[in-house]
Structure 1
């Protein structure tokens, strides 16, 4: 992964407006973004590049409808590790990060070690994944699967709050 600059960490109102737009449609022409936020196209281009360089914009992706590509099973899986020692956690994270069927993986608190979102074409593929990722994994104590009945909402759009101004000095 390329090194990222930290030269731009504070977002102003223009940056926030740009982020709101590109989160909904990363392919929206910069000319239209510029019109919507009240900047020139060149300024929008510079700001987007700076936010990418700073890691604020991590990447541009397409959100694919799993049903459209015959991925019928979405499972949310709670994973309990044998222990929370760094080698166990790091091994599990590496395995889950490398597994293509694991769409999301979160290291969490609250009695569960990790929560995964897994997408596969059918139950046979899911069983094979659970064997490989959990049953044959010495770091995993147990796991619990929740099979999604309906995809109600999917996406990665984060609400970008307005900038907060410091309290006026008296």
Structure 2
């Protein structure tokens, strides 16, 4: 993975945890700071991980490392220690579509079209790259103030083997 000079200096110990910004089924996501830059740190406890969960983590890392698209969260690097596995991700701006829909209830037609086009374009890219995205739901898609969509959870993304 190519990293810029700031990112290549990041270690797990150099990250300052600020607060928990999200919870997953087996993980939590921290807002972290490194040299005045903010990131999201997904923390997954190793204890109790079953074989399928380990496989999903591996597949998520593979997908995040391979898929480079403006509407997919960027993986900076990964870490592990004796208790956890960590994914350091760009800090995506915005809120999940599920939260926005609860507050706003309705979107203007033009905004719906823009969101749908971005989601379809991102799914098309994912499929073109040989992956299947198996967890499309409003809580896994962020929308920022500019109307940009970002897919933030690729935990169930799976590489499709070529059939011969």
Structure-2-length-normalised TM-score: 0.25
| Greater relative contact order, per chain length (Cα 8 Å cut-off, separation 6+) | 1
Which structure has more helix as a fraction of its residues? 1
Q: Which of the pair is proportionally richer in strand?
A: 2
